[in-house]
């Protein structure tokens, strides 16, 4: 036990930040609620049925986000039985109790797990991992509901809503979205969706709104109806994050695509019914060690403006899959080696280059969607998390795209003009220092001189409840802090984390979510972009855990 005790002492000296712990631990996985096949490993330490079920739930709540459903490793190390059995129960207990400097949370000493639960989890990871069911065409078709068939939908807009300035707001823990009129600031309608909607995406025409929950349920909302209405839904797997629609000329609104965390695959669907047409697995070899990975989760998808293609990002393999939808019967997929572990990103100002964060590799991969090739891999700060990023013209270096970081206070600006500013292209031309780590989103607008950076995962309430804003014309001046949580004027006992700045269509307002727990009051705060003064606060009992917000026009036209 001497070496184990020494390890524990060493880990106690190397605590990782609360921000990194929150990120590495991840959110609970919806996969854990499904029935799974389980093989008994005779070499593993014994567990009762009750212990196994409890440990399985803890694993999917706390561990699957990092180590993967099958424990093959993701941002966390593999926990396969060839490794865990060799380590033994006592050694594993130390890791679970104290964590590691590499990012493993200290589940025991933080109080998240009891001593008995630490012991139980050490025994659990020595069992063979339970295998979730696959989800194919049969299961998708069984879940498909075409509530209002296309032939029964209107042929023109049947309401007086200003759709261009409508916001789709995720009500995370309620399993709903709120549609809010950007002019009156009134809730138009609250619609039931999947759990914890991750993104809202618009069809090319601006008629259809697609939302996907983390439980892999997609809802198709027709904004032309007398009032916005769910017209179709489907469940494309057990856990998911991404949905997108076809944008290329001649294919507008024709197809939708969704990618899943489990099973690791993507599905192309009819754009107006969600009927599944083509399912493709993402399982394959990693870009670095070229080892087979059975669980490459689809983290993000964008539709190309230059070709009839979807850009699909497979997290664990580090591969960008360019999926040509011109001929679904003879599907052509181009593999682009980028870097592990691909997450989220957005286009540069021209719409040609897709900038995607390989967050555990601390890199941004630049994908040329016209030539279908990797343009560059750019080293940035610790755990880049841009959302869709921010495009603006730097006063010295020309067009840039910016990302903030989860793991540090850095804000990296990458040159994006390989024609007129070739020397700066695909390089970090400047790094700003924000108010702290824990950022999830960065935002600006073509008509704005402001660059906004949130920090909702920072452990200090003063930082997580505020935002930093820079003047693009004078970046060296540093940032101003706006107390958005205070401006919301809601109950003091909520977390009031400020997340995801989002502009209105005109680019003269910036909206923020004030995110507290499900049983606490939350709100939306609207700020005048020019004066940086409070303009409006939106409060309503229906605004339960608001997080992501998506302006219809900006989402439709990739304005960010």
Give the dihedral sign, CA 24/28/29/32: positive
Find, among 434, 435, 439, 479, the residue nearest to 455 by Cα. 439
Q: DSSP characters for 354-390? A: EEEEEGGGTEEEEEETTTTEEEEEEE-SSSB--TT-E
In terms of DSSP H, where are the helices of 246-290?
Answer: none
Q: DSSP characters for 389-440? A: -EEEEETTTEEEEEEEBSSSSEEEEEE--TTTSGGGBTSEEEEEE-S-S---
- Residue linked to tokens 């009134």: 186
Decide: helix, strand or coil at residue 451: strand
Spatial distance between the Cα atoms of 386 and 443, rounded to a whole number of angstroms: 9
Spatial distance between the Cα atoms of 63 and 49, rounded to a whole number of angstroms: 20
- How far from 12 is each of 6, 97, 183, CA to CA, in Å? 10, 10, 53
- Scored b (16 or more CB within 10 A) or e, 384-416 reads bbbbbbbbbebeebbbbbbbbbbbbbbbbbbbb
**For the chain, what is the total number of helices (H) and then of strands (E)?**
11, 35
Spatial distance between the Cα atoms of 34 and 28, rounded to a whole number of angstroms: 13
- How far from 365 is each of 65, 76, 467, CA to CA, in Å? 22, 21, 27
Residue 553 parent element (H or E): helix 552-556
DSSP annotation of 297: -
Spatial distance between the Cα atoms of 268 and 410, rounded to a whole number of angstroms: 37
What does the block give as tokens for 455? 């920090």
Phi-psi map region of 436: left, alpha, beta (phi>0 left; psi -120 to 50 alpha): left
Give the dihedral sign, CA 196/199/435/13: positive
Decide: helix, strand or coil at residue 479: strand
Decide: helix, strand or coil at residue 221: strand
Q: Are 335 and 360 in contact (CB under 8 A)?
A: no
Q: Are 193 and 213 in contact (CB under 8 A)?
A: yes
Catalytic residues: 63, 66-67, 104, 343, 385
Cβ atoms within 10 Å of 219's Cβ, excluding its own: 25
Spatial distance between the Cα atoms of 259 and 201, rounded to a whole number of angstroms: 13
Phi-psi map region of 507: left, alpha, beta (phi>0 left; psi -120 to 50 alpha): left
């Amino acid at each position: 036990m001497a070496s184990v005790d020494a390890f524990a002492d060493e880990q106690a000296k190397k605590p990782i930040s609360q921000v990194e712990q929150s990120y590495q631990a991840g959110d609970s996985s919806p996969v854990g609620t499904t029935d799974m096949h389980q093989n008994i490993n005779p070499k593993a330490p014994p567990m009762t049925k009750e212990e196994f079920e409890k440990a399985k739930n803890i694993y999917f709540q706390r561990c699957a986000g990092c180590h993967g459903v099958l424990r093959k490793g993701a941002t966390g190390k593999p926990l396969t039985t060839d490794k865990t059995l060799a380590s033994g129960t006592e050694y594993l207990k130390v890791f679970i109790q104290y964590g590691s400097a590499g990012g493993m949370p200290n589940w025991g000493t933080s109080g998240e797990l009891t001593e008995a639960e630490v012991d139980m989890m050490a025994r659990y990871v020595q069992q063979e991992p339970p295998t979730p069911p696959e989800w194919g065409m049969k299961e998708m078709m069984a879940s498909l509901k075409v509530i209002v068939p296309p032939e029964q939908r209107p042929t023109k807009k049947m309401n007086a809503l200003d759709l261009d300035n409508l916001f789709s707001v995720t009500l995370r823990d309620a399993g709903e979205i709120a549609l809010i009129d950007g002019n009156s600031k009134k809730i138009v309608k609250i619609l039931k969706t999947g759990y914890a909607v991750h993104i809202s995406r618009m069809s090319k025409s601006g008629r259809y709104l697609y939302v996907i929950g983390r439980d892999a349920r997609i809802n198709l909302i027709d904004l032309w109806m007398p009032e916005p209405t769910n017209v179709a839904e489907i469940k494309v797997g057990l856990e998911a994050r991404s949905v997108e629609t076809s944008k290329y000329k001649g294919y507008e609104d024709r197809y939708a695509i969704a990618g899943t965390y489990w099973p690791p695959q993507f599905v192309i669907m009819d754009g107006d019914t969600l009927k599944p047409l083509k399912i493709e697995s993402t399982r394959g070899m990693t870009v670095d060690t070229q080892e087979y990975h059975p669980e490459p989760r689809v983290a993000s998808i964008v539709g190309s403006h230059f070709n009839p293609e979807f850009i699909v990002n497979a997290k664990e393999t580090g591969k960008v899959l360019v999926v040509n939808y011109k001929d679904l019967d003879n599907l052509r997929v181009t593999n682009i080696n980028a870097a592990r572990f691909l997450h989220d990103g957005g286009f540069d100002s021209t719409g040609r280059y897709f900038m995607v964060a390989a967050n555990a590799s601390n890199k941004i991969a630049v994908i040329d969607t016209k030539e279908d090739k990797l343009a560059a891999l750019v080293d940035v700060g610790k755990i880049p998390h841009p959302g869709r990023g921010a495009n603006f013209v730097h006063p010295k270096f020309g067009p840039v795209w910016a990302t903030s970081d989860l793991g540090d206070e850095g804000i990296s600006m990458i040159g994006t003009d390989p024609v007129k500013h070739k020397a700066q292209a695909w390089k970090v031309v400047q790094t700003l220092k924000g108010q702290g780590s824990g950022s999830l989103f960065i935002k600006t607008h073509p008509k704005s001189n402001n660059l906004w950076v949130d920090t909702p995962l920072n452990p200090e309430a003063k930082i997580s409840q505020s935002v930093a804003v820079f003047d693009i014309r004078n970046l060296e001046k540093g940032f101003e802090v706006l107390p958005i949580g205070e401006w919301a004027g809601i109950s003091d006992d909520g977390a009031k984390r400020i997340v995801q700045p989002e502009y209105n269509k005109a680019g003269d307002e910036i909206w923020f979510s004030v995110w507290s727990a499900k049983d606490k009051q939350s709100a939306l705060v609207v700020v005048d972009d020019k004066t940086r003064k409070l303009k409006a606060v939106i409060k309503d009992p229906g605004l339960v855990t608001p997080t992501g917000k998506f302006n219809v026009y900006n989402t439709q036209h990739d304005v960010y």
